[in-house]
Amino acid sequence: MSRAYYVTTPIYYISGNPHIGHAYTTIVADVLARTARTIGPTFFLTGTDEHGQKVANAAAAAGKTPQAWTDELVPHWKALFAAYHVEYDDFIRTTQARHVEKVQRVFERLRERGDIYRGKYEGWYCVYDETFWLESKLVDGRCPTCGREVQWISEEDWFFRLSAYRDRLIEHFERRPHWVQPRSVYNEMMAILREGLEDLSISRSSLHWGVPIPNGGVIYVWLDALLNYITAIGWSEDATRFHTYWPAQTQLIGKEIARFHTIVWPAILWALGEAAPELVFAHGWITVDGQKMSKSLDNAVDPFMLAQRFGADAIRYFLLREAPFGSDFSYSEEKIAQRRNSDLANDLGNLLQRTLSMLQRYRDGIVPPADVSRSELGRRFAALHVTVRERILDLRFREALEGIWELVTALNRAIDDRKPWELHKNDRTSELNAVLYDLCEGLRRLAIMLAPCMPERMREMWQQLGTPGRIDEDWSVSLRGWGGLAPLTQTALAAPLFPKMDAVAPT
Ligand SMILES: [Zn+2]
C-alpha cells in the first residue's frame, strides 16, 4: 500500500466549550483531507485532550469527577465540528483505553532505553498552559505565554533527556528548513534550540488525573497529549497500518504550542525509533480588536450562532479566503457579511442562477451539445484544478481560492460579452449552445474544486446542475479535459445558493 495522506489537528484541551478558533483549525484540516481524498488514501484525526490539572480543577469547581466532566463536554466539540461539515476519520479522546495503554508503553520504552531518569523538579508551573517554567523565563513573575500567575512546584518527577537531542534537532532544522512553517515560527524555534535545552519533566507526582505510572503519579499531560498522533493510528499494535500513515504529512497547530510540537515531539519520536512529521504548520490567530480570540479573554464568539447566521460554508470560505494561512487575521461580522454577499452571493450564486435560468428559457433546462475543442474558456481553465490542488495541499488556501475566482470572473464575463439573449434572438444556435455549454461545464468544475471548502453548498450546486456521478471523485477523472459534462443533462431551477443578507454595520 502506498503512503497515505495523514493530517492532524491539535487535540483540544477540554476545559470549556469550543470557540471559533477551534473550528478554524479543524476546518482547515477538513479541507486538506477532502482534497487529499481526491487523490488517494487519507486519514484525518482530531480529538480531545482530557487530562491535566486544569481539567481536574475545572471538574472539581463544577462538583464533578474529571471523567464525568469530560464526558459531558465532548459532545459539544463533536457537535461543533458537525455544524461546520467536518468529516474526520477518527476522534481520539486521551481518556480512552486505546490511548492510555500505549502511553504507558511509551513510558516503559523510554525507561528501558535510558531516555528518562528520576529527579527532583523545583520550579514554576502555569496550570493554564500546563507548562513548567524556569525562574529566568518568567516575565514579572508570571507565565511568559499567557501572563497568568504560576505556582511553585517541588516534587520528585521523571525527566526526559531532551537536552541530549539538541544537536540532532538543530541538524534536522537546518536540513529541512521547511518542516516548520511559517518562517517566523521556524526562526523562533531555532532561537530556542540555539539557546540550549533543559531536560523535560514528564510526570506529575502530586496529580492523579492522568495516565498513571508505576510507583505513583501521572504522566505529564503534554507528553500524553502529543502521543495521540501515533496511538490513534496503531503505534506498537499494527505496524502496517501505522507505517501507512506515519510520518504525518501535515500537523496543524496554533503557534502558542509550537515548542511542544517542533522540539519535544520530534525528540520523543526519535527516542521511540520513529520519524518526525513532515510538516508542522502553526497557523495564525483569529483576533478581535487585536486580541487573540479565546474564552479567557471573554471575546469568544459563539461558533454555533455564527454558522446559523451566515451558513457554515460561508464561514469556512471566509476563514480560508480572508488572510493567508499562517498570519493572524481580525474577525468581524461585517467582513463575513461582505465576503458572503460579494464573493458568494454576487459572483458565484448569481452566476449559477443566471446560467440555469437562461438554460431554462432557451433550452428547456437541458445542456446542449457543443464543440468543446473550440472553447477558449476550456483552453484557459482545463488545467486549473492542478494548480488549485497544489496550492491547497501547500496550505495556500487564499491563493487557491483566488485561482478559482479567476474562472468565476471569466464565466461572468462570458455572459456579458457573448450576450446569450442576443444569440437567441438572432437564431445563432451553435454559438448559443457553445456559450451555454461552457457556462455549465465551468460551473460543474467550480462545484468540484470548491467542494473541499464548501462541501454542503457545492453539493446543492451539483444537484441543481443535474450532474450524474459523485462530486468528490478523483479529480484526474472528473476534471480531465474541458467537456466532462454530458450534453443532454437535465438541470434544475432551485433556490439561490447564498441568499443575499443585509449588510452588517461595523461595530
Ligand atoms: Zn500560562
Q: Quick: pLDDT tens for 53-85.
A: 999 999 999 999 999 999 999 999 999 999 999
pLDDT-derived band at 158 (thresholds 50, 70, 90) equals very high
**Total count of residues recorded for the chain:** 507
CA of 281 to the centre of ligand 1 (A): 22
Residue 71: CB atoms within 10 Å: 14
What residue has cell string 504525518? 248
Judge whether 465 and 497 are in contact, CB under 8 Å: no
pLDDT of residue 20: 86
Q: In 3D, which of 45, 60, 138 has the Cα closest to residue 99? A: 45
Distance between CA 210 and CA 341 in Å, rounded? Answer: 48
pLDDT tens, 246-262?
999 999 999 889 999 99
Q: In 3D, which of 347, 376, 49, 412 has the Cα closest to residue 225? A: 49
Residue 216 has pLDDT above 90, yes or no: no
CA of 183 to the centre of ligand 1 (A): 24
Report strand pairing: 5-8 vs 12-13.
Answer: unpaired
Q: Each residue of 159-190: b (16+ CB within 10 Å) or e?
A: bbbbeebbeebeebbeeeeebbbbeebbeebb
CA of 54 to the centre of ligand 1 (A): 11
**For the chain, give me the number of helices (H) and strands (E)?**
22, 16
CA of 138 to the centre of ligand 1 (A): 10
- Determine the average pLDDT of the residues in 286-296: 68
pLDDT of residue 1: 42
332: its cell numbers: 468581524
CA of 103 to the centre of ligand 1 (A): 25
pLDDT of residue 3: 79
DSSP state of 497: S
CA of 130 to the centre of ligand 1 (A): 7
CA of 429 to the centre of ligand 1 (A): 70
CA of 156 to the centre of ligand 1 (A): 22
CA of 377 to the centre of ligand 1 (A): 54
CA of 14 to the centre of ligand 1 (A): 16
Domain boundaries, the chain: 332-478
pLDDT of residue 300: 66
CA of 139 to the centre of ligand 1 (A): 11
Q: What is the mean pLDDT of the chain?
A: 93
Better-predicted residue by pLDDT, 431 or 284:
431
CA of 62 to the centre of ligand 1 (A): 22
Judge whether 246 and 235 are in contact, CB under 8 Å: yes
Distance between CA 449 and CA 446 in Å, rounded? Answer: 5
What CATH number labels 332-478?
A: 1.10.730.10
DSSP state of 155: E
Q: Angle of helix 312-321 relative to helix 455-465, nearest 10 degrees?
A: 110
CA of 250 to the centre of ligand 1 (A): 26
**pTM value > 0.85:** yes
